[in-house]
Structure 1
Amino acid sequence: MPIERFADRRDAGRRLGLELRSRLLDRPIVLGLPRGGVPVADEVARALDAPLDVLVVRKIGVPWQREVAMGAVGERGAVVWNDDVRSRTRIDEREARALERRERAEVEARVARFRGGAAPIDLAGRTAVVVDDGVATGATARVACAMARELGAVRVVLATPVAAPDVIASFHEADEVVALRAPRSFMAVGMHYVDFAQTTDDEVMAILRAARSGDE
């Protein structure tokens, strides 16, 4: 059976936004995961009439297969490891920490670049809606949701157009997971989009500038 695909991230975000509008979300703040999650999150924020911000996290990829996440790092020292993947790679502690430091440096650079000196939106007492364009291993989404809770969100919702069903079943870092699709034959996020071109830093910065302007 052919895979039903989203036209692009904007299309996926609009559909996800419609789904989330039917939920009772108390004072939501939408947090896109750069880079690909930000266009999706922008449409979700529009649908919910909610503020938009980013949660900057970085996948710690297996050195010889970077798309496979053995962990992820985020702002303010957050880190999570995918123990199953890490054990299969047999990467020792020293190399793992070196990879973590490298990705953490990129997180810090992206925070400065994307926010341009603007302060992050205060999550205290709010519902954090963490949005990505797809969830394959869940490593990045896990650290993002854990970070949102650490920053004061009273409720955390992970929202995504498509996710691996086994990840959803084992995802405990969010109070709720909303995925439009979780096909049993899931193989890769990009397979569920007609246009899955890489989102650029410039596109992310433009989206965030426009969102801040609209909030002023």
Structure 2
Amino acid sequence: MFKDRTDAGRQLAKKLINYKNKDVVVVAIPRGGLPLGAIVAEELNAPLDVVLTKKIGHPLNKEFAIGAVSLQNKYITDSSDAALSYIKEETRRVREVLRQRQDQYYKNLTPKVLTNKIVIVVDDGIATGNTILATVALIEEQEPSKTIVAIPVASRSAIEKIYNSPYIDEVVCLRIPQHFRAVGQFYKKFNPVLDKRAIRILEESNHRFIESKKQ
């Protein structure tokens, strides 16, 4: 059990300390991954970015991801129960949300270049694994030198999926519980992270990184 996302981020950073001062970009999945990503980035002396992807939910259960969409591409992990028209409409809808989010998150920042970088993808937990699989597949198109997925907690089935991904070189997971219902059950405090706070975290983290390079 983690106290909150700050506690989980600190524990995760300890497991990643070997990457300190290396050619790393920490990429957080908004919005819940940003508080953890900022802590990891500060400990590793690395810049922080977000990956602007969003899941496509199953037509009968929106929380169950069957793929993910970015502004440029989409990656579908399981379309067996989803009509092509549904995926097309969801892709259009999700991209509209992502365009709004891009305008918000990159108002004062520019996206980091991931080519030839060690990319550490951070989230606050993984339930099904489908969203993270789609996300790393999209990141792979930028040709990072190495992709690491770092999470405090994940279901056993999700871990099995991501270990088998050709796009993931390393997995760091602190807890793989036997009984998993939802990510939030492993946090004492698991309040929603609103866009306003997420953007502030991203901007403050990068300002701190830039200032550290001047010293």
TM-score (norm 1): 0.89
Among 58, 62, 65, which residue is 2:54 paired with?
58
Deviations 1:132-170 (A, max 9, x none): 111111122112212222113110001100111222222
Indicate which of 133, 148, 154 corresponds to 1:142.
133
Q: Which amino acid aligns with 1:102?
A: R
Unaligned runs of 5+ in 2: 211-215
Moved more, 43-52 or 20-29: 20-29
- 1:76 match: secondary structure: coil
Q: What does residue 17 of structure 2 align with?
A: 21
Please tell me whether residue 80 in structure 1 is matched to residue 75 in structure 2. yes
The within-5 A match list for 1:76-155 is 76-77=72-73, 79-83=74-78, 86-87=79-80, 90-116=81-107, 118-155=109-146
**1:176 corresponding residue in structure 2:** 170
Within 1, Cα distance between the matches of 2:28 and 2:125?
12
Question: What CA deviation, in whole Å up to 9, does each residue of 1:7-33 have, x standing for no partner?
Answer: 111110110001111468841110000
Specify every segment of 5 or more residues in structure 1 that has no aligned partner in the other structure, as ranges.
none
2:70 partner amino acid: G
Find the aligned partners of 1:59 and 1:67 in 2 and give their Cα distance: 9
Contact 1:25 1:127 in 2 (8 A): no
- 1:206 alignment partner AA: R
CA RMSD of aligned residues (A): 1.7
Mapped contact 2:118–2:144 kept (Cα < 8 A):
yes
Quote the sequence identity (%): 35
Q: Which runs of structure 1 show a deviation greater than 3 angstroms over 4 or more consecutive aligned residues? A: 22-26
- Paired residue total: 207
For residue 36 of structure 2, what is the amino acid of its counterpart? V
In structure 1, what is the equivalent of residue 149 of structure 2?
158
1:32 maps onto 2:23 in alignment: no
